[in-house]
Amino acid sequence: MSEQSGEPPRGAGPHEHAHPDAETYLRVAAALVVLTVLEVGVFYVPAFRPVLVPTLLVLSALKFSLVVLFYMHLKMDSPFFSFLFGAPLLLATGVLVALLFLFFGTLTLRGAAGAG
């Protein structure tokens, strides 16, 4: 009866969106394949050696975002769930970057002090 009255189906929340069709999932899968091929290619190209880690991190972050948004349905979920997922992720990323700079700085200073 709710379909005839124009009301949303029972159990559908105010933030519920329509899920993507099969074509969208296939496009996302194709993008993931392309990003994976780029990751493997970047690893074997000698010109990318100086920026290998940042490049791989960016490509991995793109793949991670696509998987989370589409295959884990975070894009279609409530914004509250996006916040619950994104806020700790941002905090963890910030801590990781801070630790990398801290240890990279320590190693650099130690190496410079021993040089002369």
- Residues 52-89: b if buried by 16+ CB within 10 A, e if exposed: eeebeeeeeeebeebebebeeebeebeeeeeeeeeeee
pTM of structure: 0.64
Q: What is the dihedral of CA 67, 70, 74, 76, to 10 degrees?
A: 180
pLDDT tens for the chain, 116 residues: list them.
444 555 555 555 555 567 788 898 999 999 999 999 999 999 999 998 888 888 988 898 899 888 988 888 888 888 888 888 888 888 988 898 888 888 876 655 555 555 55
Domain segments of the chain as ranges: 12-77, 78-116
DSSP assignment of the chain, as one string?
A: -HHHHTPPPTT--TT--PPP-HHHHHHHHHHHHHHHHHHHHHHH-GGGGGGHHHHHHHHHHHHHHHIIIIIS-TTTS-HHHHHHHHHHHHHHHHHHHHHHHHHHHHHHHHHHHHH-
